[in-house]
Copies of this chain bind each other. A is one copy, B any other.
Amino acid sequence: MSNTNIKTLSPRKQEILTAAQKLFSEKGFNAASMRDVAKKLDIRPASLYSHYNSKDDILWEIAIRCANEFHQKVDPIAKLDLPIEVRLEKMITAHIYVIIKNINASAIFFQEWKHLNEPRLSEYAQSVAEYEALFRNLIQEGIQEGIFRNDLRPGFITAMILSSVNWIHQWYKPEGNMTAENIGKQAVRMILEGLYKAG
């Protein structure tokens, strides 16, 4: 999955995706119609259908492009020759960066993917599983090296870490002054060091 090529979209297709992302994330995939998407773009439905055959095709393009974006930003970091905790910090920050640069798409990535049909659903699930494995393997490595605690399972820790930052798409205000790096640093401190005051 991670090596699926993301084709560059035509400006028109990009406009359609941007409008659909906003609509699906606001109303939910089921409640939004192709007619709504066309209306938002101020084009006729027939014109929309010349770019995408169905609402399912649009959902797929949004979901898989977002999945690929996570992989493109995070996969290379996992392979860097850096201390484990530095890699984890950079991976979490990159993950948050993808979320806040793609607020509407990531809402769909997290919540509307369940409306995908087979075989796309399986392809999507595999991409997500491979993505989570990047984190889980690094945590496993950190446990073996004696850096990370060894009393919790890596899969459990991974789920807690990713969930603890995935709410950010519901809360982040692009007009605010918090950067991905800023939020990432705060989240990483809490994840690595915990809530207790040191000492």
Min CB–CB distance A161 → chain B (angstroms):
8
Closest-by-CB residue of B relative to A150 is B197
> What chain B residues lie within 8 Å of A28 (beta carbons)?
28, 30, 114-115
> What chain B residues lie within 8 Å of A150 (beta carbons)?
197
Please provide the chain A residues from 145 to 172 with a CB less than 8 Å away from any CB of chain B in the complex.
146-152, 156-157, 159-161, 163-167, 171
Instruction: Sort chain A's interface into a size bin.
Output: 35 or more
What is the interface of chain A mostly: helix, strand, loop, or mixed?
A: helix
A157-B195, A160-B165 given; 4 more Cβ-contact pairs under 8 Å: A152-B189, A190-B194, A192-B195, A193-B196
Min CB–CB distance A118 → chain B (angstroms):
16
18 chain-A/chain-B pairs, Cβ below 8 angstroms: A28-B30, A30-B30, A30-B31, A31-B115, A146-B197, A148-B195, A149-B190, A151-B189, A152-B189, A156-B186, A160-B190, A161-B164, A163-B163, A163-B166, A190-B194, A191-B194, A192-B196, A193-B196
The chain A residues found within 8 Å of chain B, CB to CB, are 28, 30-31, 85, 111, 114-115, 139, 142, 146-152, 156-157, 159-161, 163-167, 171, 186-187, 189-198
A74, B163: Cα distance in complex, Å: 21
Min CB–CB distance A108 → chain B (angstroms):
13
Contact between chains at B148 and A186 (CB < 8 Å)? no
Contact between chains at B149 and A196 (CB < 8 Å)? yes
A163, B171: Cα distance in complex, Å: 12
> What chain B residues lie within 8 Å of A161 (beta carbons)?
164, 195
Contact between chains at B149 and A198 (CB < 8 Å)? yes
Contact between chains at B192 and A171 (CB < 8 Å)? no
Min CB–CB distance A32 → chain B (angstroms):
10
